[in-house]
Amino acid sequence: MKSNWAHVAKKYLLHPYTLILAVLLVKIIAFRTVIFHNRSVSQIVLLEYPMWALALTLVVVLFKKRTWLAVWIFNAVLSTLFIVILYYTRYFSTLPSYYDVKQIYQSHSVGGTVALLGTPYDYLFFLDIILFLPLIHYFTKDKQPLYYNGARKGLLAFTCISVITTGLAFRQPLIDVSYFAKENGYLQSQVVQLYARSFGVALATQEKLTDADLEKLKGNDYVPFNKHQTFGVAKNRNVFVIQVESLQNFVINRDINGQEITPNLNKLLEDSAYFNNVYQQIGAGNTSDAEWVMHTGLYPEGMDPTVNLLKDSEVASLPRMLSEEGYGTATFHADDISYWNRNKLYPALGFNHVFTSEDIPEQQIIGFGPADEVTFRFAESQVQSLLQQFNRVYANIITLTSHTPFKMPEDYKYLELPTKFNDTYVGDYLQSVRYTDRQIGQFVANLKRLGMYDNSVILIYGDHSGLHGKPVTEEDQLLLEDLLGHPYNLNDRFIVPVLFTVPGIFDNEQISHLGGQTDLMPTLLNLLGIEPTSQLIGHNLFQYEHNLLGMRYYLPGGSYISDHTMYIAPSAQHPASLLTRETMKKAKLTNRSQKNINNTLTILQYSDQLRREQIGQ
């Protein structure tokens, strides 16, 4: 009897194929626990594990020679993938798609902060590839092959289970990728995303919504665009849009040790309408998505960087609308044009001139490229050239220096910070923002010197938050609480400053009703007295007091921000919750909340429909 059990154990339970599947199961349990805080046996065994086991079994079946080497490489790659997913989730607070993983180091978004994201325990994911070495030695010496007929049976079984679970996943709404992956399995979520991205299948309605319908969903009574009080007040002016890297609203009008963090922006408020309650609405493309939103008035795609959907598309955009009004249009960004497919984005938006790292001098390198002062000087010279060809100019300037990890040379640190800020993420952030503020101030001074300031509109806004994710340590949180007078919260993180500087029109106006980045383009067009030639999702911030904003990234998909509340949809790690925006305390979900959820999804889906119609997706 004992010999029979020993025979069964050696043939099946202790067979090398069974052992590598068992090791894989342990790794998948660790993955689900760390990423999703989920230890559900049914979800691990029935949803998450089978597709990974199928992949491993395919390796065993396909590589009959050097099978152990192939299995070892598979596990090494899988460990690396899990680490990348873990780091991405810690930084962006959302699970990456297959496309995010492919581009994670190209984007610059995480590369400079990897050291801040990891812990020594993360590398336990690589423990199995070390443990495999004695197994490989033992079974190779014993001449017991890894491949045997049981692998074919495993291949059939795992294929059947995977087909069923993936088929069930296709029946579920894909609103938030992290929550979807938790409920349906990570690989299943990638298959569904790939299908949706390849064939343009999404949760979009085919119903045509009017501008009046959109305003009703947001809680407003519709007013025709050319009947707004601000229509045309800045007609025929030059336009400068400055998109500031990582600029958050809390630094405006704030000082530290008697020093203003943004003295030049604060001074500029005298000729501005300052919106202090505008939220970022970017997707996975971060800065490039902010450019998309600014220049189309539509939501970004969300799960993938929007630029990755563009081929040879020509979209209805701010540059094209301004070109029709006689503007010469140019964009300036001191980065490689291939990053985030800007070589597709800028032609799609229709800029007359595109200036990137190929054109902007490689001088005073800080972080990923030339310092902002180099970019502003270059933009100033090109604007003067454009004015010789066109009556008016539109210049879109993207700053770069205040990009994470915010490391500034000593000569460029203009704030004298208390010693407790030394070598902290917050301290580095404040120094980088102060530097960029000085360069904006110098650019504005040069516009005045050239006699252009009084006949210009200058729109300045932040692209997205800089202080978020694991790099913000407990020490940083305490520094922020001391600086802000309250614990750092999602409002502090997501609200970006928006300044419409129009000399002679605005006089230190501050407007606090809710807005989003989708509202920037329609607000600017209204000031210029130009009616949009395509439908926009956003609206004129000067006209409408109520709003309803969808969030697709950094909050779970399906989240919204309304006049008084912030709804955080269920995610991979947390249940749904509703917060009162003024206090950031939890509130009870109500019928009104559900109506806002439905209205938000309608707006998002309709924006997707408009985008697909334009890019031919």
Q: How far apart are CA 211 and CA 538, in angstroms?
A: 10
Please give the backbone phi and psi of residue 259, each rounded to the nearest 5 degrees, phi first.
-110, 130
Strand 456-462 and strand 495-501: the pairing is antiparallel
436 is catalytic: no
C-alpha torsion sign, points 282, 284, 288, 289:
negative
Q: How far apart are CA 412 and CA 599, in angstroms?
A: 47
- CB distance 606 to 205 below 8 Å: yes
Measure the CA dihedral 557/291/469/188, to 10°: 40
- Start-end of H helices in 109-262: 114-117, 127-141, 149-170, 177-184, 186-199, 211-218
Strand 585-587 and strand 577-580: the pairing is antiparallel
C-alpha torsion sign, points 568, 218, 251, 522:
positive
Burial of 428 (0-12, 13-18, 19+ CB in 10 A): buried
- DSSP single-letter state for residue 253: T
Q: How far apart are CA 32 and CA 185, in angstroms?
A: 9
Query: Annotated catalytic residue: which of 287, 401, 501, 523?
Result: 287
User: What residues are paired with 370 via a beta bridge?
Assistant: 365
Q: How far apart are CA 100 and CA 102, in angstroms?
A: 5
- CB distance 31 to 185 below 8 Å: no
Q: How far apart are CA 216 and CA 408, in angstroms?
A: 47
User: What residues are paired with 606 via a beta bridge?
Assistant: none
Question: Would you state the structure tokens that stand for residue 556, as one six-digit string?
Answer: 């779970």
- CB distance 565 to 547 below 8 Å: no
403 annotated among ligand-binding-site residues: yes
DSSP letters spanning 549-567:
EEE-SSS-TTEEEESSEEE
Residues 6+ positions from 515 with CB-CB distance below 8 Å: 275, 277, 278, 279, 498, 541, 547
Cα dist. 309→281, 297, 300, 335, 499 in Å?
18, 17, 10, 20, 30
- CB distance 522 to 538 below 8 Å: yes
- DSSP single-letter state for residue 421: G
464 annotated among ligand-binding-site residues: yes
Q: How far apart are CA 97 and CA 85, in angstroms?
A: 9
On the CB side of 530, how many CA atoms lie within 13 Å of its CA? 25
Q: How far apart are CA 520 and CA 436, in angstroms?
A: 21
Question: Would you state the structure tokens that stand for residue 434, as one six-digit string?
Answer: 């102060």
Strand 565-568 and strand 577-580: the pairing is antiparallel
Give the annotated binding-site residues.
Answer: 245, 287, 403, 463-464
Give the annotated binding-site residues for Mn(2+).
Answer: 245, 287, 463-464
The residues assigned a catalytic role are: 287
Give the annotated binding-site residues for substrate.
Answer: 403
